[in-house]
Amino acid sequence: AQVTKERTRRDVDDVWKHERNVRRSQSDMRPVLLKGHERPLTFLKYNKEGDLLFTCAKDHTPTVWYSDSGQRVGTYKGHIGSVWSCDVSEDSTRLITASGDQTVRLWDVESGQEHHKFEYRQPCRCVTFSLGEKYAIVSLDPFMGSASSVDMLRIAEDPAEQTSEVVRTFSGHSGRVTRCVFGPCNKTILTVGEDGCIRQTDTETGALLKLVEAHERPIGDLKISKDGTCFITASQDKYAKLWDIDTLECLKEYNTERPVNACDISPLMDHVLVGGGQEASQVTLTGSRAGKFESKFYHKIFCDELGAVKGHFGPVNAVAYHPDGRSFASGGEDGYVRVHHMDADYFALK
């Protein structure tokens, strides 16, 4: 009877320890929930160090947060339309945003003061700094008979000397240009859009270097790897694809079985991250399970699905890895940003 009693006590202790470990594991993976936007998220961007997370949404107000705690640092007020994208300088002093209100705005990160407003006659979709931040490129939506285009802007070192000078204009896509980025050493510009094509253009001459019909449906996102050798695209055709940044050769394909809105490449592991789900217009007709509103991980080389993280009630519109690769953020149609810090199990994935 004494042995049985001791064994029972030991079993209870083991169960208690197991439940404690499970709770601890669950708390490690519990996301930090950022609620500061009133409308769907459109874009996420970490600064170089990763301590700040910048978020854009359809509610007109770009917001900056501490990425580890989720505390809101401040907002940038001035836009009167949906803010579609942003970029931050390497020293985290300047922020640039593109909006449907037909403006691109340059901000002081710390004070929130607007340095300059670039005004257009077309909605602005995507904006990106060049390496060194001497230039920025902005994509303009087709509007009132004007075709889509990409403008290269000169960025002054002194905000007081900033002008709206356009250095060069690039064109060629049919439909919206959803993403535009500078290639290696700012020698090329990569653009993707609703026509499903990738265009590689010479920055100096504006000549088209390469054109690839990459996807069967619109491309919504493009991210370059940390080492700058490849990039990934996300499309409504349910595929994310990995490309060589120089040759535009398709290296890998990831079949997600649902529309893909956003993607990123891990700076630490051989992983890629994708987010998406059923189109927003159909969200009210389905549950979160059927809509597949998850962020999914795939092995970059073998293309195997490694896992999924649920939580958003609606399509995932934006994803971004932290620069150290140990956490990631996702932004959804539900208006929430979720920051996930990886647990030990994630780093065991091969």
Residue pLDDT, tens place only, 85-97:
999 999 999 999 9
User: Rounded distance, CA 52 to CA 46, Å?
Assistant: 6
What's the gap between Cα 158 and its chain centre?
29
Is pLDDT of 13 > 60?
no
Confidence of residue 81 (pLDDT cuts 50, 70, 90): very high
Confidence of residue 285 (pLDDT cuts 50, 70, 90): low
Name the percent of the chain lying above pLDDT 90. 83
Phi/psi of residue 21, nearest 5 degrees: -65, -40
What's the gap between Cα 336 and its chain centre?
14
What mean pLDDT comes out for the span 257-265? 96
- For the chain, what is the mean pLDDT? 90
What mean pLDDT comes out for the span 46-62? 97
Looking at residue 290, its pLDDT comes to 53
- Three-state DSSP at 287 gives coil
Looking at residue 4, its pLDDT comes to 38
